[in-house]
Amino acid sequence: MRNITLSITEETKSKMESHPEVRWSNAVRVIIERKLHDFEVTEALAQKSRLTEKDVKMLSKKVNRAMGKHAKRLLNEGYS
What is residue 79's predicted lDDT score, i.e. its pLDDT?
63
> Are residues 41 and 13 part of one domain?
yes
Helix (H, G, I), strand (E, B) or coil at 44: helix
Q: Is 11 within a domain? A: yes
Q: Is 1 within a domain? A: no
List pLDDT tens digits, range 37-80.
Answer: 999 998 998 888 888 889 989 999 999 999 999 999 888 876 65
The domain in which residue 67 lies consists of 51-80
Integer Cα distance of 63 and 28 in angstroms: 30
> Are residues 40 and 15 part of one domain?
yes
List pLDDT tens digits, range 15-41.
Answer: 999 999 999 999 999 999 999 999 999
Q: In the chain, how many domains are there? A: 2
* CA of residue 54 relative to chain centroid, distance: 23
Integer Cα distance of 49 and 58 in angstroms: 15
